[in-house]
Amino acid sequence: MNKAIFPGSFDPITLGHEDIIRRAIPLFDEIVIAIGINSEKKYMFPLEERKRFIEETFKDEPKVSVITYEGLTIHLCQKINANFILRGLRNPADFEFEKAIAHTNRRMSKIETVFLLTAAKTSYISSSIVRDVIRNHGEYELLVPQAVKVTK
């Protein structure tokens, strides 16, 4: 069984994340969206809200599940028997950063990282851009799945 973990903070999930996950569904038997918890990081959305956004976005997709975790992603992979880490690449800077992590993960385990290029129509979207648009009362709805709702 080919199980992939798609890790991230998803603060919030974006159309770019959704695109990568939907395009990966035919490639894997199961995709676990893993929301990492970092106590040092300040999030815009609480963990349970981020989880709910993702669960609602993929409610009709039985191959996708959502969990939360702390620690190294490879330890989570080993714990739940996932043999792949799924990552999206928007630009060359993403590739350089993700390549180093993928090499480290493979060195520390036998887990492979699979990269998918983001679609051109979503390649400019990042969670940090979405948070900035939200903070400045912009049209964030153009950048996120319908499940993401900001209460004012």
pLDDT tens column, 94-123? 899 999 999 999 999 999 999 999 999 999
CATH for 3-136, options being 3.40.50.10190, 3.40.50.620, 3.40.50.2300, 3.65.10.10: 3.40.50.620
Closest residue by Cα to residue 23 from 99, 125, 118, 89: 118
The DSSP bridge pattern shows strands 84-89 and 30-36 to be unpaired
Report how far residue 143's alpha carbon sits from residue 4's, in angstroms, rounded to the nearest whole number.
Answer: 25
Return the domain boundaries, the chain.
Answer: 3-136
Q: What is the dihedral of CA 21, 27, 32, 35, to 10 degrees?
A: -40
The catalytic residues are: 17, 41, 90, 127
pLDDT tens column, 66-88? 999 999 999 999 999 999 999 99
Assigned token pair, 136: 């400045």
Q: Is 90 annotated as a binding residue?
A: yes
Q: Is 128 annotated as a binding residue?
A: yes
Q: Is 65 annotated as a binding residue?
A: no
Percent pLDDT > 70 in the chain is 99
| Rg, Å, the chain Cα set | 15
